[in-house]
Amino acid sequence: MFPYEEDVLNSICRHAMRVPALHETSGNWSAFVSQDLAAIFADEPWLDLPPNPDQQADILSKLQSVKQDQLNKAYALLTTDGGVRGASKNDGSGNVNSSFVNMAATPSSPSDDHTQSPKDFLSGVMNDPNNSLKDRIEAAKALLPYSD
């Protein structure tokens, strides 16, 4: 979903970058990747050439929307131990409140700066004691190749 135009103009949020897209600085391409190809991108999570549009369309054509009961189950799992911060509560009808559906979970880093780099975000996750140890370790592992 796109943010409201007035929020973009007021720098409250911004549109997500399109995928696939050329990263202007590195010259690498982003792309949608099927589950069976994800492991190939573990060491280098980018493409040197633009992805094939037909293959990208094929990957996206297989996606399905989450059903309401699946969303409710995920919400219940995430909120059991307080895993989702800032999410609204169930509306009592057994369905998740629409404000939850339209929002992302609060970032797991100390900063609410939506323009921070991926490296800064991962550092925030790694250093935030409110995150699970598993998430902190995964963030540290993701940062390892970029450590000085």
What backbone phi and psi angles, to 5 degrees, belong to 109? Answer: -110, 160
- Does 89 score more than 60 pLDDT? no
DSSP 15: P
CB contact set of 128 (below 8 Å; sequence gap of 6+) = 108, 109, 110, 136
* C-alpha–C-alpha distance, residues 121 and 119, integer Å: 5
Q: pLDDT, tens digit, for every residue of 98-112?
A: 444 433 344 444 445
Average pLDDT score, the chain: 74
Distance in angstroms between the alpha carbons of the first and the last residue of the chain: 37
Which residues, other chains included, contact 120 with Cβ-Cβ below 8 Å and sequence gap of 6+? 109, 111
Summarize pLDDT for 24-68 with one digit per residue, the tens.
Answer: 889 999 898 888 888 888 888 889 999 999 999 999 999 888 899
Give the separation between CA 57 and CA 19, rounded to whole angstroms: 11
DSSP β-bridge partners for residue 124: none
114 falls in which pLDDT band (50, 70, 90)? low
Q: How confident is the model at residue 148 (pLDDT cuts 50, 70, 90)?
A: low
- DSSP assignment, residue 90? B
The whole-number pLDDT of residue 57 equals: 93
| CA dihedral (110, 112, 116, 118) positive or negative | positive
Please check the confidence at residue 3 and state whether its pLDDT lies above 50: yes
Residue 15 structure tokens: 């549109």
pLDDT greater at residue 42 or residue 148: 42
pLDDT at 17: 72
Task: Give the pLDDT band of residue 2 (cuts 50, 70, 90).
Answer: low
The pTM for the full model equals 0.42
